[in-house]
Structure 1
């Protein structure tokens, strides 16, 4: 460019545009801003619709109807899962779509043995609870197994590689006591052979134990690493009953190590503290095993909070009191409703999961049935709509304020009936049928004819 030429370019801050281009770009800015505002308004409207309970219920009804009619069922099913409840992930600690626990639908359930589908749903729900309570530490460790029945050596377990919030009823693997896969489930992942060997040893030696839950929460791992073990510092520790301790080696257990573990557990203990490896919580049902795991974790948390105090400063529960607490927890409640150990709390947790949209498939023993809202008791019935109720309420309000005196309304204008089309009048007539008639007053009405 020569000195005589005019420089029409803008400074470097404008990107080297000419003055005309810059003016054109400035003219386009309001349009871009308007488009952004319209997009924001559209998103707000969509978000408001998706947050509407009535809209979601109506959409679910339409989706159910379309699915029954067989119209593009896979796509409708995906939409239904997205709007079926509040948007949660399978883990209730993050925002995403709900991953249903009971994913066994229709005729798929006929391929399982009697009661197996229910047990699968309950076991998958326990994995979700473990994730909810933060016992999984976001990893794949901590296995849970459930035996189908005492007559067969079939155990349900989870495949290796699935996070707790990914476990569903159909993804569970059925294996025998030796770890051989009998039914793979819906994944192609292998099982954790080393972890399952602990569970297999307990299931084989204790027919009364149908569920084994390996707790590896931070507090349980910390207490299992102490030489003193779990101390009876609270009621939750007493509810665990007899505790057993065992030093388990790393890796798959051989026959000799299995015998040692069984001898350490004994014939009646249902909690086995593993040195530096958490604890095995056993139960006759999944409800009892989860109940034991929850009490164990709480007791470990309490002990860790008191770890800074010297031993002589702690008040331990004596053995007799611990025995009384444990036996009382195994007795039926006074109201006569019989629950298995941990069953009442477990059913409440299943309601919580179902309300969050996880579709547990749990069969409730006592479904939550809400009664009608109690109506206020009133000795005075509400008058019909054609009466002078408005005036009655007005007079009552004036009487409360001290502006209405007793007897003020007698003969007044407000005591006149206003709902009749007739006009009444008093008439004096003579009595009939007597020699000495007297005057009597009668009330007659004059019917008002419509004009």
Structure 2
């Protein structure tokens, strides 16, 4: 039998071992530590939920990171503030790196048009990553020309993955690739890849955006001798497709002339032999529209690659032309939508709903901010309410004049349809020894027949 001073388990099953006694002694200290940790986390969460605190802290971190003071620690704090930023890809819902990171004083150095273009270009990089078109990592540039008056183009520095591109990290260069604005990174410009885009921008003023698609489907079709076949509507929406073989490295003047001649004055899709395709557009929306249709058309062709050519039904030239012209016309119910603009705005809503903060200015917001108001701003007086009708119905019911089958709606209609008659009545003045006659206007209600 165990001694009376020996500790037993709470359920009385037996004595405690030395290890269990030591664990029981440490349990109060562990509980206190857990409580303190929970309180600390609640305090940190309360601070992180403050928008002003986050913006100020991010500004300080950016400044100190540029100065090079304690970079590893500051980078860890930056990742904690921004929330799971670096996950390696945007194809999951965990990455919330904001697209529009130009805030406060930082936005003063950019014109309004350039800031909007930066946000849209960075958003296109996120869409390219979301759609899975980034098969080769950091290759596959997207460029956007500021305007036709100046020869300045926005591009990304070499070394950034598509999900890391933000509005402030874009680099502004001229047609020769000379940096005009470095952005917020220290990475250089991909001169080899930019030479392709510069050739198109310099020769085609109508093209403001060039998107280099290097998806698996586009790379596969660009390696075939047949090229892109008109098998589906997505292929017809591309219009004329040009083909060219581009050498490696920076293009010289002769190779640039060959590329421009192959693209022609009207084509907006250039298939590069073994290198994907260049999708051009007057806007970023149109360039992304072309890239999306090209990728879909290439996927359809690859699914039918096992069939001989005579077994495939190709679209004739008239059908392709009609489909292409119809896609370039704005919808009848809306005014002046550019090519691909309506779908692009929906994609921006998708990114904003996921927390990417695109900075996109919507032409047609999904939810109206203001409640619809009447045409005039005159408020309805309280006298014109349903209370008067209720009192009137009650009085008619008491007098036995309420007819069966006449409800509140019928009584209101009868009241509104009855003519308004006014009559002048002379009454004697009251409160004086010498009353005078006063003319008043009284309202007479005439029942509608």
Q: TM over 0.5, yes or no?
A: yes
- In the alignment, is residue 27 of structure 1 matched against residue 21 of structure 2? yes
- Structure 1 Cα separation of the partners of residues 34 and 300 of structure 2: 49
Offset from partner CA, 1:14-41 (integer Å, 9 cap, x none): xxxxxxxx93124345678999999999
Give the secondary-structure state (helix, strand or coil) at the position aligned to 2:355: coil
Map of 1:340 onto structure 2: 338
- TM-score with structure 2 setting the length: 0.68
Deviations 1:243-292 (A, max 9, x none): 00001111111000000000000000000000000000000000000000
Structure 1 unpaired stretches of 5+: 1-21, 51-55, 374-380, 382-451
Give CA-to-partner distance per residue, 1:177-204, whole Å, 9 cap, x none.
1111111111111111110000000000
Q: Judging changes above 3 Å, is the alpha-carbon distance between structure 1 residues 39 and 236 closer, same or farther for their aligned structure 2 residues?
A: farther
Please say if residues 287 and 343 of structure 1, whose CA atoms lie closer than 8 Å, have aligned partners that are also in contact: yes
Moved more, 190-199 or 28-37: 28-37
* Residue in 2 that maps onto 1:109: 107
Matching residue of 2:169: 171
Structure 2: distance between partners of 1:168 and 1:313: 47
Inter-partner Cα distance in structure 1 for 2:199 and 2:275: 16
CA-to-aligned-CA distance 1:303-360 (integer Å, 9 cap, x gap): 1111111111111111110110000001121213321000011111111111111111
SS at match of 2:50: helix
- In the alignment, which residue of structure 2 is the partner of 1:160? 158
Distance 1:71 1:114, change over 3 A: closer
Distance in 2 (alpha carbons) for counterparts of 1:179 and 1:372: 47
Matches within 5 A, 1:406-425: none
CA distance in 2, matches of 1:235, 1:40: 61
* Alpha carbons 2:144, 2:284 under 8 Å: kept: yes
Q: 1:213 to 1:28 in 2, by over 3 A?
A: same
Q: Describe the SS at the equivalent of 1:340.
A: coil
Q: Where do residues 364-375 of structure 1 align in structure 2 (5 Å cutoff)?
A: 364-369=362-367
1:63 aligns with 2:50: yes
For 2:326 and 2:119, how far apart are their aligned partners in 1? Answer: 30
Q: 2-side partners of 1:344 and 1:265: how far apart? A: 27
* Residues 300/203 of structure 1: CA separation in 2 closer, same or farther (3 Å cut): same
Gap change, CA 1:80 and 1:142, over 3 Å in 2 = closer
Change in 2 beyond 3 A, CA 1:329/1:288: same
Query: 3-state DSSP class of the match of 1:115?
Result: helix
Corresponding residue for residue 328 of structure 1: 326
After TM superposition, the score normalised by the length of structure 1 is: 0.68
Which secondary structure state, in structure 1, belongs to the residue aligned with residue 359 of structure 2? coil
Where do 1:55-134 residues align within 5 Å? 63-64=50-51, 74=60, 89=87, 91-94=89-92, 96-134=94-132
Residues of 2 paired with 1:45 and 1:239: CA distance? Answer: 59
Other structure's SS at 2:279 match: strand
CA contact (8 A) 1:126 1:290 kept: yes
Gapped runs of 5+ residues in structure 2?
A: 1-15, 62-75, 372-385, 387-449
* Aligned-pair Cα RMSD in Å: 3.7
Tell me: CA distance 1:152–1:46, structure 2 relative to 1, closer, same or farther (3 Å): same
Higher alpha-carbon deviation: 254-263 or 304-313: 304-313
Q: 1:224–1:274: 8 Å Cα contact kept in structure 2?
A: yes
1:293 aligns with 2:280: no
Relative to structure 1, is the Cα distance of residues 87 and 166 closer, same or farther in structure 2, using a 3 angstrom cutoff?
closer
2:218 corresponds, among 217, 220, 234, to 220
| In 2: Cα distance, 1:300 partner to 1:43 partner | 54
Describe how 1:329-408 pairs up with structure 2 within 5 A.
329-369=327-367
Residue correspondences, number: 345
Distance 1:176 1:84, change over 3 A: closer
Matched-pair contact (CA < 8 Å) for 1:210–1:283: yes
Supply the distance in 2 between the matched residues of 1:42 and 1:301 (Cα, whole angstroms).
Answer: 56
